[in-house]
Structure 1
Amino acid sequence: MDLLTTGVKREREKYTVEIKSSLLWESALGIAAITNTSLISTLDLSEKDYELISQSLSKNMKEQLDYVQANNTWKTLLQILHQEDFKDLASFNNYVKSLSSIELKWIAIPYLGKEGEILKKELLKGSKDALRELKYITKDHTFLPTYLEFIHKVSIEKLKAHLIEVMSGWFKAIIEPHKVKLESILLRDKALKEKMLKNFEPDQFVEWATDGVQYPPEPSVHKVLLIPHYIYRPWNVEADLEGVKVFYYAVANESISDKSKFVPNKLLVQRFKALGDENRLKILKMIKENNVTLQELTTKLQLGKTTVHHHLKILKSARLVSQSLNEYVLVDKAIENLPMELKFYLESE
């Protein structure tokens, strides 16, 4: 059926992309990673890495990390880091010391939408009703309800002392001994991403930079902030600021080595491997002509369902195909961008 348009034509929503990096972000994200017990076994860290981290931490630091794990104060550290571009650990610590009780608690509570901002103001005046409402708004979140209650009740001097001790302790024990290496990795990745940014639409770039996160434009967000990290690999962590979506993303493999120009992007390799098979190419062409189900593909290809499912899994891992309910859909942008991604790799210095 044809569509009769009677309204004013509106331009597609867009956002800008900004990339920031610093060892302070790496420190805070390291604290977040090492205290996330549900994900710690999945991190790209060897047993030797874990041993070295454990041996480097004092008894007091281990107690501080227990406090982080119990109260999710890594979130407070990240919230503070969004307030200014701190030059070093000393400027971060001085900033924390300078904050009043109201200022620190306001910063510590993440952006929860317009309604949440109103409730935050009431909460900071001591309203238990506001706390109850905020906990209800965030009831489906893994830790925010208990985190909000913690921030509401905590002694501000105790919180300040903890934030300074845990950030300083981690930075001095884990970051400083590897400062040159870590800073080089983060800066290499930032430079790589900034060079590629001009070649993509913002949402395409975010998907490429984060190795697959799809974040289409939305009216309330005017900027996406990308912050690279090394220790939390392979995970992306997301957060919300007012008008800003934040992705703390895992640095690419090619950024880890100083011979990075010879190391291809992991997703680029996956995509060309996925395309290097006759049956998978057939599947792509069939999906291009019409979205299809697993059963339809099995019938058309005259292959076993297990075999076709295996091929689809490879294509999905390479982000060439997505699934919508029972149907498989071609990711057109991924196909369109392949020549550009290959060209970028071959010509990068």
Structure 2
Amino acid sequence: MKIWNIGSARTTYQLDFACSPLFEAALGIAVATYDQIHHTLEHPPEHWSSMLSALPQSVELEVDYAKRHNTWKTLLQLLHHQPFADLESFLHVVSELSAEELRYHALPFLGQERQQARENAAQGSAADAELLQAACRDHLFFAAYIAHITSVDTNELRQHLLTLMEGWYQTHIKPQEASIRRMLEKDSSQKRAMQDKLDPEALVEWATGASYPPEPTVTRVLLIPQAIYRPWTVQADDAGTKIFYYPVADENMSEHIDPYQPPQALVQSFKALGDEQRLRMVKMLAEKELSLQELTDVLQMAKSTVHHHLSMLRSARLVEASGSRFRLRSQSVSQLSLLLDQFLERGF
């Protein structure tokens, strides 16, 4: 079939960056109230119990409220509203928002076609609140969250948010605020420095560990570093914007960087490539997608051995599965020389 393309050329998104200990606080509340995920995080489950028990009792009550109604989402939505210099400016803005503005910023973005319903629901339309709930019946918590936001007294919601954010921040962020800020700014600066070397899609993949191709309605991607949710990348949506709260890189977690300490991603990649059979597999997968059985047949090795090699390549993000077949992540391979250059050029 012959195709004559008379459309415009494929475009990508604009890439922006933000970082703040305020995001770290809101995400900390989110993860502390999400018990089911604790075993998958870098800190053990008992770490989160100790964080909760360290809070003043009045704040613990607000954390329980947040756990029941997922109002950590409200905090993040408000942080998307505008940049905030510090906790005081955030608390002031939240205090001054009208009831309609507070509800609107609390409600999740569910697509441009539902923005009018979002506005109407914020103004008190029960029919539009039901429409928004119906649009996300399959979501883990959005329907119940929207029902709460559109029915709760806004003064109650406002006071809850102020007490929750200030209490969590003062207990868990303020004592190490300067070091948290430096860590986040260090990682954000590292990613910004690669803008001239990587296109937006490649940079997003490098930061988050997952590819994100352009969507018709998304013109902007916002990258926000976080340490509290490591190793997870958390996604969110706003009008025209996809937001990624991505994990701070290993090399930026420490207060003092050893210029001779290579990034873990670089070590993993070279370890994965430092084997003759795995290099054979990389070349084969560079040519076409192959199944485990096809790789086994060509390499004349035990299937378990081939699977082990694939696991190493996948953990280094050099290979990915596509159904029952495997393919090379060409972008990841091409980025290796840039990452090596960045490591070699790292200042003392």
TM-score range, shorter chain: over 0.9
- For residue 255 of structure 1, what is the aligned residue in structure 2? 252
Distance 1:110 1:300 in 2: 50
Q: Give 1:318 deviation, angstroms.
A: 1.5
- Residue pair 1:13, 1:219 contacting (<8 A) in 2 also: no
Distance 1:101 1:221 in 2: 29
- Secondary structure at the residue paired with 1:227? strand
- Secondary structure at the residue paired with 1:205? helix
One-letter identity of the residue aligned with 2:296: T
Distance 1:48 1:36 in 2: 13
- For residue 14 of structure 2, what is the aligned residue in structure 1? 16
Distance 1:287 1:232 in 2: 33
- For residue 282 of structure 1, what is the aligned residue in structure 2? 280
One-letter identity of the residue aligned with 2:76: L
Equivalences for residues 1-349 of structure 1 within 5 A: 3-5=2-4, 7-8=5-6, 10-46=8-44, 49-50=47-48, 53-210=51-208, 212-257=209-254, 258-349=256-347
Deviation sequence 1:12-56 (CA, Å, 0-9, x none): 221121111111111111111111111122222257744652442
Identity of aligned residues (%): 40
Deviates more, 1:194-203 or 1:129-138: 129-138
Distance 1:150 1:54 in 2: 24
Which runs of 5 or more residues in structure 1 are unaligned?
Answer: none
- Residue pair 2:317, 2:332 contacting (<8 A) in 1 also: yes
Distance 2:333 2:47 in 1: 38
Which runs of 5 or more residues in structure 2 are unaligned?
Answer: none
Q: Give 1:232 deviation, angstroms.
A: 1.4
RMSD: 1.7
Q: Give 1:118 deviation, angstroms.
A: 2.1
CA, structure 1 residues 108+145, in 2 after alignment: closer, same or farther (shift >3 Å)? same
- Residue pair 1:22, 1:183 contacting (<8 A) in 2 also: yes
Q: Give 1:227 deviation, angstroms.
A: 0.8
Deviates more, 1:123-132 or 1:196-205: 123-132
Compute the TM-score of the two structures, normalised by the length of structure 1.
0.94
Deviation sequence 1:235-283 (CA, Å, 0-9, x none): 1111111111101111111111211533322222221111011111111
Compute the TM-score of the two structures, normalised by the length of structure 2.
0.94
One-letter identity of the residue aligned with 1:317: S
Distance 1:209 1:69 in 2: 29
- Secondary structure at the residue paired with 2:285? helix
- Secondary structure at the residue paired with 1:245? strand
For these two proteins, the number of residue pairs brought into alignment is: 346
Deviation sequence 1:114-167 (CA, Å, 0-9, x none): 222122133234333322321221112111011000001111000000000000
- Residue pair 2:32, 2:52 contacting (<8 A) in 1 also: no
Distance 1:328 1:151 in 2: 44
One-letter identity of the residue aligned with 1:29: L
Deviation sequence 1:297-319 (CA, Å, 0-9, x none): 11111111111112112212222
- Residue pair 2:38, 2:44 contacting (<8 A) in 1 also: no
